[in-house]
Structure 1
Amino acid sequence: MDGWPALGLGVMPRDDDVQATPAERARWAAVEASFHDRPVTDLAQAWVEEELRVIEAAEAVKAWADAQGLAALRRLHEAVGMVVQEQADSISMYDDGVLSYAAVVAETTTAAVDEVALATGLPEGQVAARLELALNAEQRFTPLLEALTSGGVNLERSLRIAEAASALDPEVCRAVTLRLLAPITDGSVRSHRSFVRELRRQVAVHTPDPAKARADAVRRRCAYGWLEPDGAGRLTVTGEAGRVTAALDRVDGLARSLRSGGDARTLAQLRSDVALDLLLVGWASPDQVPEAARPTFAGEAPVARVNLVVALTTMLGLDDQPGEIPGHGFVPASVARSIATATGSVWRRLVTDPVEGTALELSTTRYRPTRRMAQQVAALDGICQAPGCTVPADRCDVDHEVGWPSGTTTVRNLKSRHRRHHNHKTRGTWKARPGPGGATRWTTVSGRDYLSHRFRYDDQLSRPVTAVDSEPPPF
């Protein structure tokens, strides 16, 4: 069938012996009919139905494949547990220390998650959610896994159900799952919005202790943010529902007051500016806020701190490399220059190796890492020195690359490691050994090797791609 023109060209094969799918026949007939001013609705509908069945079949195959992946993930977790337990027994034998059962379980879970995340590139949180579903504690997710295997539900919806219903009684969880998997009254699949609404209702109806569930949710409150490539950013704050809604109402009230007072910014822009002003300096544009709505604060406005890494050449306007706010992301050169030249900004010089682009260290042989040594190590590393991790170095543990006393307590032998990966190394789940140029060579539970490098302050990937000739070479 290769070579037949696409839809819109009135050329179709006439040979009845030509093998073609119903969809291809429908397409050819529809095109031919359109050239004779005949209605094509019936034929087009048949074509739509045929392609819709292909899409449904593809989704069912993906669901089945995801079910096989979950089964493999469960078995991988079991195998990792055997390694972790053996390492725990070895540590207790030689160090007279006993790793608790809870620690072994936690290490098994994080090591399994990290292994899969490194191999596939999937986010750790998503792998962890898949693992919880795969482990199927107390058989609470059995109907869900069966439906996934048969193509009756996709992985994304399965993970939503598992997360929302995980705190329910196992029997109730299974019953709620069957309700959510059942088709609606006309026999069709629930739409996404209908599914989300019903999921929330079922959880609300069946939560055994709403007060405890609320307390647990509030205990998990946090604030986090991330940067967009265009120079904007997002801030998310979770907390007690009353406080969140009260804060939103206050921000909205201040924004509306400014808007009614003649401020040219849109209401959406004002909500953003007011919320950030309140967080950064303690008040929202005090010269513009009406007296009745103006908040009062004691003391001076707090100082906000942003750590920004930007090349001197960019600051001098010689190039436009993006700046990096470690742990958050990149900002365009213009934004980096704006942050660095803001009133009160403090610059710290960092000398880098002209070839490697890594920070140069100062020698020291103190027995314990001093604060100055820790700062040097953080400057050298930039981020966690474990594969795939980007936690900022100043939030990591300072770890000996070669364990003390075999390894000395010097800046060259110290690395920044996120507590999670530090534990992998300490417990023997992951092996770490020095690599070339200050790198670390890691061996995970699977026996795979990964190389982590110290932070490159002069990274060629921060420079724009140069234009290349798109014409093919002559032959």
Structure 2
Amino acid sequence: MATSTATASTDVLADVARERACAEAREVVAMLEFRDRELVRIGREESPMRRLVERGAIALCIGEALGLSEGQVQLRLSQADRVRDQSPLTWLAFLRGRVDWARVREIAHTLGELKRAESVHRLDRGVVDYASTHTVAELRQWLRRFVRRVEADLAVERADAEREKRHVSITHGDDSMGWLNAYLPSHELAAIEARYRRAARTGVDPDDDRTVSQREADQLVAWCLGSDAATSAVDANIAVTVDADVLAGARAGFAESSDGRWGVPAAWVAAVAGSGSSFWHRVVVDPVTDDVLSHEYLGRFAPDVLDIALQFLHGTCQAPGCMVPAERCDTDHRIPYPHGPTRGDNLGPLCRRHHTHKGHRVLHWSTRSTLEHILRKALNEPVLMEYAG
């Protein structure tokens, strides 16, 4: 992955972030201690009504001291209780400043979704290393994938139940505008998004003064209203990864998007793929080495098939924390051409901004040892991003 060039000054920033996390931990601990002391005191009250009223006032007292609403206080207390009781390693990392409250909050939400004790223990063992080296957005996606993998059968049941709630609603607002809302399965939304994005950027009239967003909106309206624009087919490349045993039906599981934004039960995707739809591609990836295409291409520019395979493999820009989808990125040589070959293991997506940074040596490519990479893949552990100095 692409990594930033560390300098001595960034150590100061890291120290500040750690101090901020420790301060957040002290605040949350103080809230818990205040509540617990108050509960002990209130428990000695003789009047049941008095006990009920004073328990309800605890959140109000904490909120007044910290400038929070009662709802915010109650939510923070419940999240802190959940992490402290169910994920001791995460709680210890929070107290030491390794992870901040934003990450603890995401972990607490995931703990609330997990139903099995072994799943909770497994999360506690592995989440801190990932959370401490990735952004909150990346952690959120990692946690979603974790739930789908370790409790796939329960997650499939929830997804099937949610699918029954699909609907479309229209809300009229002010100034003659309104909202069109659709609650739909994620793979269908991804296909719709890919189609209108491509349609709005293809064959644009030079005299068309509409913005891209306006063209996207107009294209969607044209399809919904059944005008001539709806008759022109627009291809969309949708990438998902599915474990072989899940695809074979040996166990429950999910098809996950390459950029990590969504996942759906594998059976939903199998139904679409079997219907003759043309926007699905299948890329076979080696389960150990992660190799996609071992063939080496001559020349500087990768052919379309390799570009698509790399987009499906990586999902997003490979700069630290960047979430720009791979299809909007440049295909960059880790070892510059012609010294580096044009093949899968020497190429990766970088968004235009980070590609420029790499050209000015602000970013550079760095990889862990092959042995460590293989071991982590075999154990289904994340290959962590490395910051090179």
Q: Is the radius of gyration larger for structure 1 or structure 2?
A: 1
Query: Could you tell me the TM-score, scaled by structure 2's length?
Result: 0.44
TM-score normalised by the chain length of structure 1: 0.37
More helix by proportion, 1 or 2? 2
